[in-house]
Amino acid sequence: MGQPIETPTSIDDLISQVKSLSEVIPRGSGTKPSLWESSETTTLIDTRQLSSIVEYQPSEYTITVQAGTLLSEVVEALAENGQYLPFDPPMAEEGATVGGTVAAGLSGPGAYRYGPLKDFIIGVRFVDGIGNFVRGGGKVVKNAAGFDFPKLFNGSLGRLGILTEVSFKVFPEPQSYVTLQTQCESHQEALKILPIVKGYDLEGVELDNQLNLQMRLGFQEATMDVRKQGLESLINKDLSLTFGEPERAVWKSIKGFNWAQDNRSLFKVATHPHSALKFLNAIQLENWTLHLSNGGKSLYLSGPADDDITSLDETLKSQKLTGLQIKGPVDSHPLIGNTSSIPFINRVQKALDPENRFLTFSPTTSEVAS
Amino acid sequence: MDLINQLEQLFPPKQLFTKKSQLVAYETDGLTSFRSEPLAVVVPETHDQVIETVRLCHKAGVPFMARGSGTSLSGGSMPVEGGVVITLNRLNKILKLDPENRFAVVEAGTVNLKVSQAAAPHRLYYAPDPSSQQICTIGGNLAFNSGGAHCLKYGMTANHVLGIKAVLADGEVAELGGESADTVGPDAAGFFCGNEGLFGVALEVTLRLTPQPQRYCTLLAAYDSLEKAGHAVSAVVDSGMLPGAMEIMDKLSIKAAETAVNAGYPQDAAALLIVELEGEIEAVEEDFKTLRGLIDTTGAYETRVAQDDAERMTIWKGRKSAFSAVGRLSPDYLVQDGVVPRSRLAEALVKIENYSKEYGLDVANVFHAGDGNLHPLIMFNGKEEGALHHAEELAGKILSMCVEMGGSITGEHGVGMEKKKYMPQMFNETDMECMKRVRRAIDPLEIANRGKMFPGGEAPALTTHGAHPLEKAGIISRE
Ligand SMILES: Cc1cc2nc3c(=O)[nH]c(=O)nc-3n(C[C@H](O)[C@H](O)[C@H](O)COP(=O)(O)OP(=O)(O)OC[C@H]3O[C@@H](n4cnc5c(N)ncnc54)[C@H](O)[C@@H]3O)c2cc1C
């Protein structure tokens, strides 16, 4: 029962497994089941044995790790040197791997400050669909040579190649944080606050299902008070302040998707503040929980696992928004809504996987017909 | 009906050039050593004209090349011999500006700086700032994943491109990405960036806009050796600061800049370091105190701080004019843009100095120190027989050095025509073959900008033509 699993312990292993199997999908720790659960004819390739920090020189602002490395290890190694992954990947505490995070294209709340994962991935190595071991990008922070495979693999869903190594650009982390919190009356009200705070170098802006708006500031001790007062006067609302351990707990919980219960589905939609609002106004979701992340650039939704998602899919399509199912039952095509990029990606996939070993991004014509 | 006849049906005479006298202006780009003559140049005014041109080329199997402003420094926008040049300058409208959601939709021929100008009333700007930004286009920036002085903190063009509408090389129209600064599914728009015109023609681009920093703090430090300046860069980075820009100029470029624009730089310095912090007022001012203390420990013998915006502009004016200024010392020069790991900057500079002696050619250095992106400027006398070839050899040595140190042959100018033979030093046969497969999947006939990026193919004869015409006219300068 269940899907067969292979666990490569070396690149050579991985190459020969890919070559000998007819249908494969890589998996890290399995924290995002909708991205790997598939039929019994698809072999899971567990990448967790390909795990190590390959190269890390803090003064270069870069780190290179094997794809099966746990995010938590990377986060820790960086923290020892006062650095961090500025895209602030989620689910590190839950055991997510680097490869799985890249393939899912997931960033956390901290992406508000400097940008999402795609802005920090500078190099990849991967095994393509015919067992070639390929390198794209490089290990230096700036590089314009060759096609940008690192960008392509952001969100590749394990369907363009099996990542074995990833290089990131990293940044120094703020010395400490405070979080300002305020209760909003509606999404509309919260979204009005967002443009007002845009000139501030915030490290995160999140709006949860209870309409709590959390704004995170990274700082040096000396400037905290004056920065907080500046923000208060700007929003003209009472703000409560947390710091220290409780503050960290707030963000840990956001990154762990603690608000979305385990037995329910989880979706992410790429938005901007207004498209998120428009979408929320258009859709009826009984029993669903919403979380507006990254200053309104990502919307997360969680609902009963067995809910029909047809109307979700259709509303997304009509508003030209794209969604990704992260948890919950899926028919092996976790992308929903607008898929206008997919015909182009399908052509790239054909080049990287001419023998169709990887799963497709959207139902093929024959699948639709049957 | 042949291709020219078909194009005549598509374009009125003022939008189609086929006479030698008309084509001459399009024979070259910013790398003036390469030239070749196209079959025709078209100047589309609608997206449909671009799409139809690409479809006709595909049907006829004739190569085409998209062209923005032709400021490429790597031969990327030199025409494919006998092919069609599609000039995008007239597709230059800003179609949408959404300050609240911080993005703009522009046509590919829009000039880079125009985007920031349009966004300025909303206290927003478009972050990538190649020093050709008054003239180069978003389409060209996108094709080369262009950079500028602020890449360490803000990243290159691809980090600011959210969506692209493009016609692929076989005439299919693709819509990649969208309006969100986050992505779902493979980052198709990001992957399209940096394709060097090999995938097709971008028509419309959705760009992320960035809030203008509340405050800039800019400092200039003078050193008696390049090495000390290089070490200072590492010291700043190690301190945990994240400057918006860190730039170094060497003796030769300081002298040239000073003669050209009178920036008031310390004349006896062997190296100048510019560090700029930017962001929220209180945070930046606090960091700047730390920075000043730190610079004092790096052996700088003179430090200046810009007291106001005018002084800041003066510091930058010298820096931005440095390359065209060096160009005055020598009418012929090659500019390279290899990258080395930042911690090996000092070592790289010493090596370049040795190569310079070995080859008997002066090399000036002005570079983006924060991200290890060198811009050695190799001066030679084009009138001397074999001089260009000699200079190219030296350039090649520098590129190989960059690769050996674990860096890259290009940080922002692209591979184009000029560096394609060095690609195999960075990527092995399997990597190259994989890229070629992807290329053929998008462009089965290999007609989009044929002969660029991948080694092989016919290289046009090298000639020497000095500075870019716009540089000579003083309109743009190299960074
Ligand atoms: C004085 C000077 C200073 C410079 N400084 C910098 C700098 O600081 N940083 C930096 O990165 N670069 C710099 N450059 C290089 C150059 O300006 C950039 O590469 C720029 O992005 C080219 O833009 P362009 O519009 O001139 O493009 P072009 O030169 O016309 O074209 C460049 C490439 O893009 C392709 N292309 C153009 N438009 C499209 C389109 N719509 N769709 C698909 N492909 C397209 C072309 O085929 C070609 O391969 C400088 C150049 C000069 C001359």
- Shared domain check, A20 and A125: no
* Mutant choice from A84, A143, A156, A359 vs B, greatest count of B C-beta within 10 A: A143
- Complete DSSP assignment for A281-333: HH---TT-EEEEEGGGTEEEEEEETT---HHHHHHHHHTT-EEEEEES--SS-
Residues 36-55 of A with CB under 8 A from B: none
In a domain, A209, yes or no: yes
- Shared domain check, B234 and B208: no
- Shared domain check, B164 and B16: yes
Structure tokens at B149: 């002085």
- Shared domain check, A286 and A327: yes
- Shared domain check, B53 and B202: yes
B458 lies within 8 A of chain A by CB: no
Q: Closest chain A residue to B185 measured between Cα atoms?
A: A155
Among A226, A255, A284, the domain boundary falls at: A255
CB A158 within 8 A of CB A358: yes
Alpha-carbon distance B417 to nearest alpha carbon in chain A (angstroms): 12
Contact A115 B158 (CB under 8 A): no
The atom number, within ligand 1, closest to the CA of B71 reads 26
pLDDT on residue B464: 45
Mean pLDDT of all residues in A103-110: 98
- Shared domain check, A58 and A41: no
- Shared domain check, A192 and A163: no
Give the binding-site residues of ligand 1, using a 6 Å CB cut-off.
B 29-30, 65-73, 76-77, 88, 108, 130-132, 136-137, 139-141, 143-144, 146-148, 196-197, 201-202, 412-413, 449, 468, 471, 476-479
The pLDDT of residue B1 is above 60? yes
- Shared domain check, B356 and B304: no
Residue nearest to atom 18 of ligand 1 (CA): B72
Q: How confident is the model at residue B437 (pLDDT cuts 50, 70, 90)?
A: very high
Q: Are strands A289-293 and A240-243 parallel, antiparallel or unpaired?
A: unpaired
- Model confidence over A55-97: pLDDT tens digits? 999 989 999 999 999 999 999 999 999 999 999 999 999 999 9
- Shared domain check, A149 and A79: yes
Size (chain A), residues: 370
Query: With helix as H, strand as E and coil as C, how does B229-241 read?
Result: HHHHHHHHHHCCC
Determine the structural domain holding residue A290 and report its residue range: 265-337
Among B324, B346, B362, the domain boundary falls at: B324
Query: With helix as H, strand as E and coil as C, how does A70-126 read?
Result: EHHHHHHHHHCCCEECCCCCCCCCCCCEHHHHHHHCCCCCCHHHHCCHHHCEEEEEE
pLDDT on residue B87: 97
pLDDT on residue A117: 98
- Shared domain check, A186 and A240: yes
- Shared domain check, B173 and B44: yes
Among B324, B345, B371, the domain boundary falls at: B324
The pLDDT of residue B282 is above 90? no
In a domain, A359, yes or no: no
The pLDDT of residue A367 is above 70? no
User: Side chain identity at A279, as an amino acid letter?
Assistant: F
pLDDT on residue B398: 96
Structure tokens at A86: 């500025």
What is the CB neighbour count within 10 angstroms for residue A289?
17
Q: For residues A193 and A184, what is the distance between their CA atoms, to the nearest angstrom?
A: 10
Contact A144 B408 (CB under 8 A): yes
CATH number at B394 reads 3.30.70.2740
Please give the DSSP secondary-structure letter assigned to residue B131. Answer: T
CB B163 within 8 A of CB B189: yes
- Model confidence over B172-198: pLDDT tens digits? 999 999 999 999 999 999 999 999 999
- Shared domain check, B200 and B230: no
Contacts of B156 (CB under 8 A, 6+ apart): A142, A144, B128, B145, B146, B147, B412
CB B216 within 8 A of CB B277: yes
- Shared domain check, A82 and A149: yes
Q: For residues B143 and B88, what is the distance between their CA atoms, to the nearest angstrom?
A: 13
- Model confidence over A107-135: pLDDT tens digits? 999 999 999 999 999 999 999 999 999 99
In this complex, which of A201, A322, A348 lies closest to B184 when CB atoms are compared?
A: A322
- Shared domain check, A90 and A19: no
- Shared domain check, A203 and A168: no
What total of structural domains would you count in chain B? 3
In a domain, A203, yes or no: yes
Determine the structural domain holding residue B371 and report its residue range: 330-422
pLDDT on residue B460: 45
In a domain, A139, yes or no: yes
CATH number at A315 reads 3.30.70.250
User: Side chain identity at A369, as an amino acid letter?
Assistant: A
Contact A138 B426 (CB under 8 A): yes
CATH number at B246 reads 3.30.70.2190
What total of structural domains would you count in chain A? 4
Structure tokens at A69: 């490395």
The atom number, within ligand 1, closest to the CA of B67 reads 30
CATH number at A101 reads 3.30.465.10
Q: Are strands B215-223 and B271-279 parallel, antiparallel or unpaired?
A: antiparallel
- Shared domain check, A270 and A249: no
- Shared domain check, A307 and A247: no
B100 lies within 8 A of chain A by CB: yes
Please give the DSSP secondary-structure letter assigned to residue B371. Answer: G
In a domain, A356, yes or no: no
* Least confident among A155-164, B56-65, B134-143, B282-291: B282-291
Determine the distance separating the centroid of ligand 1 and the alpha carbon of B24, expressed in angstroms: 19
Give residue for tokens 């991004």: A361
- Shared domain check, B448 and B318: no
- Shared domain check, B47 and B168: yes
- Shared domain check, B338 and B190: no
Mean pLDDT of all residues in B345-363: 93
Among B379, B401, B422, the domain boundary falls at: B422
SS3 B384: coil
Mean pLDDT of all residues in B365-369: 92
Whole-angstrom CA distances from B32 to B19, B107, B298, B365, B395 are 21, 27, 40, 20, 16
Contact B240 A347 (CB under 8 A): no
